[in-house]
Amino acid sequence: MGGVEVQLLVVEDCPNEAPAAVVLRRALDEVGLSTVRFTIRVVTGQTEAEQLGFLGSPSVLIDGQDPFAEPHHRPAMACRLYRDDAGVSGVPPIRPLRQALKRAADATAP
Is residue 23 within 8 A of residue 91, CB to CB? The reply is yes
pLDDT, residue 11, reads 97
| Type of residue found at 56 | G
Strand partners, 61: 7
pLDDT, residue 1, reads 42
Question: Could you give the CA distance from residue 45 to residue 1 in angstroms, rounded to a whole number?
Answer: 34
Q: Identify the band that residue 97 occupies on the pLDDT scale cut at 50, 70 and 90.
A: very high
pLDDT, residue 26, reads 97
The Cβ of residue 84 has, within 10 Å, a number of other Cβ atoms equal to 14
